[in-house]
Amino acid sequence: MQYPLPDHLGTGQYTRGFLPHVRVEGKSYFVTFRLAGTLPQKVLLQYQAERESLFDKAERDGQKLSWSERKRLFELYSEKVESYLDAGHGDCWLNDERIAAIVAGALKHFDGQRYALTAWVIMPNHIHVILRPLGNHQLHEILKSWKGYSSREANKILQRTGDGFWEREYYDHLIHTDDEKAAMIAYVHENPVKAGLCSQPEDWKWSSAHRA
């Protein structure tokens, strides 16, 4: 099931290819984007099959996705995809502190102007962010800006050419309640601990939980 791309992305449902995206103006989002080539095709296909079965069921029933179905979509991602990312598959260029610093700077640069940045973490091959777009700024434009700047600067360090630094698609999850936001913040900050990179969230340098 495909949702059309609306003219104005403040509120609506659409796809940019593989993953579905939901927009509600004034709301916060949990976003994950990753380096290119970090996720096996078989995992993407499995995720796609399960996702489409949920959409098909909702369409047959003449209903929008229920909260439990939306929650299941997030669980499918966090359980089946996150484990691959945390295992360090593919190039882990974000392990380079010079590149991690570039990405961290990009995330924080327009905080309070284009978006309100709630929480973030930079992992070796992917990034989690919780943010709320401000004014007329749209989530996809914010992601494009982050990716464009950081890929250009990182490629200079890596002496690479081309635009294949980041995977084109990204995952986003609309946050519905304050309790859900608190759970997502904890999820973001605990990711380095879960991946065995540190013992406490505040020990991970490339995170909004870091305490020097």
What is 109-155 written as a DSSP string? HTBTTTEEEEEEEE-SSEEEEEEEE-TT--HHHHHHHHHHHHHHHHH
Domains of the chain as residue ranges with CATH: 12-203 (3.30.70.1290)
> In percent, how much of the chain has pLDDT > 70?
69
pLDDT tens, residue by residue, 168-193? 878 888 888 898 899 899 999 999 99
Report residue 164's pLDDT band, with 50, 70 and 90 as the boundaries.
Answer: confident
Kindly state the DSSP code that residue 79 receives in the 8-state scheme. Answer: I
Rounded distance between C-alpha atoms, residue 113 and residue 150, angstroms: 19
- Residues with Cβ within 8 Å of 79's Cβ and at least 6 positions away in sequence, in order, are none
